[in-house]
A and B are shown apart, each in its own frame.
Chain A
Amino acid sequence: MSETKQTKTAKATLRAYVMIGVLAAIWIYFHYATNPSTPEYWHVLEHIKLFFAGFPAAVSNLFSNTHTPSWITDGIFLTPRNLSNLMTQMSVTAVLAVGMLMVIVSGNIDLSVGSLLGLAGGVAAYSLSEYELGLPLSVALAIITAVVIGVFQGALTAYLNIPSFIVTLGGLLAWRGAVKGLLGGNTVPISNETYKAIGQANLPAEYGWLLAAVAVAFVFFMAFRRARSVRDYGLGTAPYGAEFVKSIVPVIGVIAFIWVMNDYNGVPVPVLILLGVALLGAFLTNSTVFGRYLYAIGGNAEAARLSGINNRLNVLKVFALLGALTGVAALIFTARVGAASPDAGTLKELDAIAACVIGGASLVGGRGTVFGACLGALIMATLDNGMSLLNVRDFMQDIVKGSILVAAVGLDMIGRKET
């Protein structure tokens, strides 16, 4: 996924590096702050003071000392166990964010995904536990419900010209009502172990390494193809060497990821699903006609229409797709919790939208990447996870997350003005 979106390639790449840098800084800080010798603060302001004052000293200490400082070894955040948890925690939001990103790129929004997640999860749990329809049928029903609702909302938006904000605001209320009615206000537990595995199981280590091998082979294959196509289209000799060098960072990333995950329990299944969804999303947005049409519709709907694009059909499709991904997220969510509850997924739509926006998507449409949305989801999950480890109080966590969302977009706007 090192391929960035081609529009404004340089800026998008720079942006991705800045975001990765910010994420790295937050990670290291949380690791530093979670080591037992750091004084324990519950107040977030004291953490902010520490972040700007004590923490840089600790990091620079790293380079001047010959022996490793104790916070490196004693911190809790950057441990295989916690990173595995972090990845699992982000998976639901990130799966939603990938679908949301595509809807946002097309110039629309979907506020109903949280409620729809609850409803689809309810459908799965209900068919599994109450009607005993069996696993495949229950899973299929959940996803079909979500897709049908996605198509319905997409049709209202695309063909009746009701703004998607309104349609899905209605959906936010209606689908929440539907799940409450379906479950009769009760939490429905799920006992099917195979189903629960979707949210709780891990990939055995040897399969993890197999996955790594496949991924590495894929990265090299793509590099080879890119190099070869340069030759095939008569653009010069194939730059095999350059493409090989460019592949090194992704390959190291893959191996490090699998190594860390295997060091704990192996790759969690939700993370595996997320990887699949993210790859699909990146493929759709970067390399398909459908993806290009989405950017065109969001960038200038009238120009897109006059260029022969069927705006309405494509908007319908993107809502259907988000519906399907919401169904997938619902399966992960209910499987992790082991039950469906009437308030499952509340406010998830805002997490997904925030992830897209932090990742550089524009709510006006036409701009945003799947990679950015996933990174945004990771940043959100990091804040949740890190602050919980630090025992930052719940209300403070919300305030911090809200502030960071606004600050991220604010900085982005300032950056855009200057260039």
Chain B
Amino acid sequence: MPLLEMRNIVKEFPGVRALDGVSFTLEAGQFHSLVGENGAGKSTLMKVLSGVYPYGTYEGDILIDDEVRHFSGIRDAENAGIAIIFQELSLVKELTVGENIFLGQAPSKLGVVDWSALYHRAGKLLRDLHLNIDPRTPVGDLGIGQQQLVEIAKALSKNARILVLDEPTAALTESEVETLFTILRDLKTRGVGMIYISHKLDEVFKTSDRITVLRDGRTVGTHNATEITKAGIIAAMVGREVGDIFPKVEHEFGEVALTVEHLTAYSVDTANKKLVDDISFSVRKGEVLGIAGLMGSGRTEMLMTIFGAWPGRNSRKVSIEGRDVDIDSPSDAIRAGIGFVTEDRKRYGLILDQTILDNMTLASLRTVSGAFITNRTRESIAVRRPIESLRVKAPSPLTVTGTLSGGNQQKVVLGKWLLTNPKILFLDEPTRGIDVGAKQEIYTEINKLAKAGLAIVLVSSELPEVLGLSDRVLVLHEGRMTGEFTRIEATPEKVMAAATGNL
């Protein structure tokens, strides 16, 4: 009898079918890995399991011990013995380890917290996990690795029988990873079933009993770890053809537009953690350089550093058209001819409260409008061209950007940077969360810009997009460059292998 069974789960979002009939089984004491590209549906599946998407918002059945369960929220799932440890830690840094473990369920008498019982029980949990952590330590004083282990203790305090770990090792050092796996193996012997999501295939193979591959919201296959190879898994993860939506355009390259040498960037929070480690590359005019890599591989940090916007410690040498340039701030970068269509348009790209016109002219206000006094009429004329060429669909340039669709918002951000007349354009996840039609239009625009002689650096988590648009692909893995491929060499398998650190 399986501990957990998920049958034909279908989950739809407006315009997207994120899960398209996924089935998944977990036995007690089993270590079951879930792998797939970004956007394959892993996280969505886990959110269905944990009650984040309550019963009724998805189709299909969740069975625990052969009994169909309906979770109306996270609490229900927790009570059923499901615990999830997310990528981002959910601990309260200001509280102690013990307080965190029993957050919301502190042992109490008449509403008064029984502190000695709390710390006693927390201490016992930690000892069971062979962790040498004082439960009275504030969580903020612990390293990320130990915090991760506290999360596990917290999950176990709820008597979890099913433990979901979403990329738990992303921030851990190697010795911390070892500790984690020792604990997980121990839990296995206690009969806890574990679902393990990771991009690191080494780890997946090291510990898994079974491996399930998801792609485009479907189960591609479930295998015993001993019966499949890494190459087999990678092929299953990417196994699809790059569709026709990428018009094959031959770009003509000019001289070198941008050269970056020895770029290194450190984490803002953890002073000595390198997020980008000694990367050098160059881009020519008219070339589209794709940067592939999984989340957390340092792609955005690299672009931010070149752009003079990375707040952490960093070093690099940048030259544009053969001349060395000193870029200390985004305004230096803009002056030097770099445009940066940032990721997450709502956080970094747009002022949602303001109009298309206000947003589009923001990065080039002094040239498009006036050096000191603004001129609305000049601005209205300036934004006409990007609005038309990008086909921004809005009643007027004075429409507030918060009311636009994702695709149109993305076009506004792109338009903002085109108005700065860049020689080099960075695009960070330019099509995330937008519909296929708008994607297509942005692809066409990218090719058009390359043809006009812009050097383009394209970061994307969607492999087909990188492969379909780029003339050359660099692959990053944990801040290091693990591969460089020409358009012809770049096959999905090779790029994915490099991105997962398996060259």
Contact = CB atoms under 8 A, between A and B. Distances in A.
Interface of A: 6-9, 229-230, 232-233, 235, 287-293, 295-296, 299-300, 302-310, 366-367
Interface in B149-185: none
A308 B353 contact: no
A295 B363 contact: no
Contact of B358 (A290, A292, A308, A309): A292
B374 A289 contact: yes
A367 B354 CA distance: 9
Interface string B363-383: 101100111111111101100
Contacts, number: 99
A6 B358 contact: yes
Interface of B: 307, 309, 329-331, 333-334, 340, 342, 347-355, 357-358, 362-363, 365-366, 369-378, 380-381, 398, 400, 416
Which of B342, B347, B354 neighbours the largest number of chain A CB atoms within 10 Å of its CB?
B354
Contacts of B331: 308-310
Nearest to B332: A308
A296 B348 contact: no
Contacts of A366: 351, 353-354
B381 A305 contact: no
Given A6-B398, A295-B354, A296-B351, A307 B362 contact: yes
A7 B329 contact: no
Contact of B330 (A6, A229, A232, A305): A305
Nearest to B420: A308
A230 B374 contact: no
A302 B348 contact: yes
Nearest to A226: B377
Given A235-B377, A292-B374, A304-B362, A310 B329 contact: yes
Contact of B371 (A232, A289, A300): A289
A90 B378 CA distance: 37
Contacts of B372: 288-290
Contact of B366 (A6, A233, A289, A305): A289
Nearest to B365: A289
Contact of B348 (A233, A299, A303): A303
A153 B448 CA distance: 49
Contacts of A305: 309, 330
Contacts of A229: 375, 377
A307 B353 contact: no
B353 A299 contact: yes
A288 B373 contact: yes
Nearest to A295: B354
A6 B377 contact: no
A296 B362 contact: yes
B330 A289 contact: no
Contacts of B350: 300, 303
B376 A6 contact: yes
A306 B369 contact: no
Contact of A7 (B358, B371, B381): B358
Nearest to A297: B351
Given A9-B398, A289-B373, A306-B348, 17 more contacts: A6-B355, A6-B398, A229-B377, A230-B377, A288-B373, A289-B372, A296-B362, A299-B353, A300-B350, A300-B352, A302-B347, A303-B347, A303-B351, A307-B363, A307-B416, A309-B330, A310-B331
Contacts of A296: 351, 354, 358, 362
A232 B376 CA distance: 13
A8 B380 CA distance: 16
Contacts of A300: 347, 350-352
A308 B333 CA distance: 8
